[in-house]
Amino acid sequence: MTHMLTLAVTGGYPWIFTAVYVVGFIAAVTIGSIAWYNSKRPPGWEDKQRPDVVPKVDADTPSSGDQSS
């Protein structure tokens, strides 16, 4: 109880919350970048090359879970 009161009074913030936010931000930027690079290019970017680190996602081929019998 005293520890919780100390955090409330001193304004201490556990480092794990900051780590979760940082990891989440990095994940969001990474996933968003992959999605953007695999989407249709905006005007002026049509001839730009995809970076080697971005995987090619082919939306035309159905995955094994999408097949109906």
Whether pLDDT at 9 is above 60: no
pLDDT band at 32 (very low <50, low <70, confident <90, very high): very high
Q: Look at residue 39 in the predicted model and tell me its pLDDT.
A: 77
Cβ atoms 38, 57 nearer than 8 A: yes
CA–CA distance, 29 with 19 (Å, rounded to integer): 15
Domain ranges of the chain: 1-41
Whether pLDDT at 12 is above 80: no
Q: Look at residue 69 in the predicted model and tell me its pLDDT.
A: 46
- Side-chain-side CA neighbours of residue 47 (13 Å): 1
pLDDT band at 29 (very low <50, low <70, confident <90, very high): very high
pLDDT digits (tens, 9 = 90+) for 56-69: 777 776 655 555 54
